[in-house]
Structure 1
């Protein structure tokens, strides 16, 4: 099945509507993804702090 019988303007209209739906869908997902990535990044930064690293080193020494 081909779309040769559908006028070009109709194809373009459906393409624009389809793109709008895709952008709208992404707009609803992106805040959640951004929040998750922010949390992960913050946890990584906290893990890298001198305080956390010294606690982890101390625990390793105690376990040995």
Structure 2
């Protein structure tokens, strides 16, 4: 095999690898975004009041 053919195959292989990585990045980014938003929503005062009830409010007043 001559050098030009090897170089062309190398470029093709690298392009395929990059496109493979690019294809799974959007779903991973979406999943991380969903997890992050879930954490932020769980940490909100409204959800904390629903989860912990008045106990958290009483504990905050004692501090």
Shorter-chain TM-score category?
0.5 to 0.7
TM-score of the two chains, using structure 1 as the length reference: 0.67
Mapped to 1, the partners of 2:28 and 2:43 lie a distance apart of 23
Structure 2 residues not aligned, in runs of 5+: 56-63
- If asked which structure has higher relative contact order (CA below 8 Å, sep 6+), I would say 2
**Mapped pair 1:32 → 2:22:** no
Which residue of structure 1 aligns with residue 42 of structure 2?
Answer: 47
Instruction: Give the superposition deviation at 1:14.
Output: 2.6
The structure where helix makes up a greater share of residues is: 2
Structure 1 residues not aligned, in runs of 5+: 1-5
Among residues 16, 20, 45, which one is paired with 1:21 in the alignment?
A: 16
Deviation string 1:8-60 (CA, Å, 9 cap, x unpaired) is: 54443332211100111111111111111111110011001011111111187
